[in-house]
Amino acid sequence: MSSLKELAVALFEAGAVRLGDIEAKLGRRTPIYFDLRVVVSHPKVMISVAQQLQKLSEDIHHDLLCGVPYAALPIAAVMSINTDTPMIMKRKETKLYGTKKMLEGKFENNQRCLVVEDVVTSGGSLMETVCTLRAEGLNVTDAVVVLDREQGGVSVLKKNGITVTSIFTLTDLLKMLNEAGKISDETVQIIVEHIKECQFSNLDFMKDNLELIE
């Protein structure tokens, strides 16, 4: 899988692109949903996704990698092994026993941690991980993601000090899948209209869980 178009088609064929009237996070409805969790069952696609993210990471100075739980964890693990970069893991919930740690793995104050994410919509999931990492004394300024759904999350993250670099924007991906005959012109149109109407300009809906700059 040398080209991005080949990767887009491989993701589609692996079942990572779902079309229809789908219920997403917080009861929102969407005509397109990306399920990157399926990639664990397709090792060649996993390697290709990790390699593309590694390319994006080459110019970003970092000491550690951290995947946003859960979908990005295996992707970050493959990148960690391929590049010999230590990884840390954020827990979704704090343990109620033992060490009560939020982060697993070894890290030191002020180390630079690059965040790995599968999909950005509002930016909320990624920001949640960033807040935990920063609260533990890590320096977090960048994230690499597989897909930017172009719904405002990347700008929201920028306002909070995070630069996002993605393998695909939704526009790129739709174009590649349309050219490959996987998605019709009509479906592309429906998705484009939905994305225009469903934009996020802040993370107010989850402000009780986040310590934001704004």
Ligand X SMILES: O=c1ccn([C@@H]2O[C@H](COP(=O)(O)O)[C@@H](O)[C@H]2O)c(=O)[nH]1
Site for ligand X, rule CB under 6 A: 24-25, 33-35, 68, 71, 118-125, 153
CB of 127 to ligand X, least distance (A): 8
Helix (H) or strand (E) holding 64: strand 64-67
Closer by beta carbon to ligand X, 30 or else 57: 30
Beta carbon of residue 99, minimum distance to ligand X (angstroms, whole number):
25
Element (H, E) at 198: none
Strands 163-169 and 142-148 come out as: parallel
Number of neighbouring beta carbons within 10 Å of residue 15: 13
Q: How far is the CB of 200 from ligand X (least distance, A)?
A: 7
Which C-beta is closer to ligand X: that of 113 or that of 150? 150
At position 125, the amino acid (one-letter code) is: S
| Shorter beta-carbon distance to ligand X: residue 63 or 159 | 159
| CB closer to ligand X, 50 vs 120 | 120
Cis peptide leading into residue 70 (ω within 30°): yes
Alpha helix positions (H), 28-136: 43-57, 73-83, 124-135
